A and B are shown apart, each in its own frame.
Chain A
């Protein structure tokens, strides 16, 4: 339906331009923004400090979510708004498995990897639930995921009987903090692994191609032997996996959970990351790297605003401005106008 005019390289320009603008702004206001120092944390391990590290650290959850959200957007032409609530569920599952019946265990009741795998299965099930609604029952993605958006945090609380487990084992903090001896924040390493995996999958399987063709035109891809329902369904399951990884990082950061505020409004940021990557929110072609970059640009913006001491409650307003700009710029009406303007300018040059 929406034939995209961007080729891949051009599409990467959008998040890069936004990034360059932010970098320039910070360079002018305060060059110390870019200072990175090596220090130690309170457990005596080496850690890197500085705004840039903070951005890489906190932007990583968003980058991981952006991977799944990009695929869902491309295939279904809609967005999953339940990821924040689903993170509450997966985080709750991880804590439940680690804690058992005791909310404040001295030792972990199960290996962390087991807890994580259980969370993966549960998250993928919930992703599958969304996927079935969207792909097979043909419900609008935003409406279908509204169900989990509403119920998810209650389900998360339910899993732990409304209690707030706290984990004291230090090894659990590695995932949202630092692995001893490695001064780079672990969330960034996890995000890097996720990005490499998805890039390999896109390179060596037909997932990317199928997703795009389903998003561009479902019925014609069916005529070509692709099962559009299954592809859409699959993208939601993959997003479920991304949610489980994000959930692990989130609960590890503080070793506990607060069902009502964990990953609050993160779905909006994830969708924004996809949009900032220049991907059409109406589905079709996509560029994974652009989305991931978009996620870090959003965190760059957030961190910059924190540095400028903009009130945290005003942050969404600034993000909204960015969204409006992007959406307006990507509408066909404006694009045509811009194209005309470009042609006029170039024509004049030739005349001159």
Chain B
């Protein structure tokens, strides 16, 4: 009797679990192309555009769309351009992984499948020479987006990237233009060594040294809002004086602001503390619009139209004037931002 009872319990639970799983699956819309994020080398293929006779076959290798809001927006943008039901004459296949070896395996598969173009946002900068040479031999054209790699430039047609140094420079210039009577800055950094952190930190530190600004605290919160909250909390508890928060992404700026709110320190346009963030998340731009924050720097995730232009040029037999294409990126000021900007640039 007891034995059966146990079995029934086990069965019921496994059934419940399975149900739970499907329930989660059910609520996740019908985006089957994005439904294989952690599965590494899994790929999904979009149906070719029905109208045109010969679709351009494109293999897209990207990082996991769950990685960040930036990546989600980036994936959405690419899906809209190359994904199922696009009207641009592309037949796109997508592969997602945060691991280099899985990405390389996916690239090999795409080459075997005979894609015309391979679009790549590499997880890691090293290790791509072999597979890119294979691509070259097979006549597959490679276009890098979002991230560069350590490989001979002859192995790829173009690289479409953000200039993180410029993003930082823009923000630091803006901060200087505010002409505050004194600059006491809490500098919250991203994951140390990442391109975004280096670019965004570098510009601020240079500017601070040149103008004699005080950096009250410089600490990495690893893109994490909770850590940023604790860092600013610690500065407040220690009674430090500061009037600028320079956070290297929006999440960390949000965490910092949560700590300010708790201590009743006013922030935003014309208030005690200037708040700066990066990435232009929609909610962050809304904070700007409400003048709770002061500045947000863009890190442009909308690379699809640049890639589209490059492919069109290559298809027409033109040569590209520049191999490295740096995207336009904006910096928004709370005093000038409009609802239109929020809608257009929020991710």
Contacts and interface: CB of A to CB of B under 8 A. Distances in A.
Interface of A: 32, 39-43, 47, 49-51, 54, 58, 96, 104, 122, 125-126, 128-129, 132, 136, 150-151, 153-155, 157-159, 161-164, 166, 177-178, 227, 229-230, 250, 253-254, 256, 258-262, 264, 302-303, 306-307, 309, 311-313
Interface of B: 2, 6, 9-10, 13-14, 16-17, 20, 24-25, 27-29, 31, 34-35, 37-38, 64-69, 72, 191-192, 217, 219-227, 229-231, 233-234, 236-239, 251, 254-255, 258, 260-266, 281, 283
A303 B234 contact: yes
A286 B255 CA distance: 36
B262 A41 contact: yes
A307 B219 contact: no
A255 B260 CA distance: 15
B189 to A, nearest CB: 9
B249 to A, nearest CB: 10
Contacts of B35: 158
12 contacts: A41-B262, A43-B261, A49-B263, A125-B20, A153-B66, A154-B37, A162-B34, A177-B262, A229-B6, A260-B67, A306-B230, A311-B220
Given A157-B66, A258-B225, 11 more contacts: A41-B264, A49-B262, A122-B20, A128-B13, A132-B10, A150-B38, A151-B38, A164-B281, A254-B258, A262-B226, A303-B234
B217 A309 contact: yes
Given A157-B66, A258-B225, A261-B223, A39 B283 contact: no
Please name the 9 residue pairs, one residue from A and one from B, whose CB atoms are nearest each other, closest first: A157-B66, A306-B234, A42-B261, A261-B224, A154-B38, A125-B20, A158-B28, A166-B283, A162-B72
B69 A41 contact: no
Given A132-B13, A150-B38, A254-B258, A161 B31 contact: yes
Nearest to A229: B6
Nearest to B38: A154
A259 B222 contact: no
Nearest to B233: A54
A50 B97 CA distance: 43
A125 B16 contact: yes
Contacts of B25: 158
A49 B217 contact: no
B238 A307 contact: yes
B264 A40 contact: yes
B219 A309 contact: yes
A193 B94 CA distance: 48
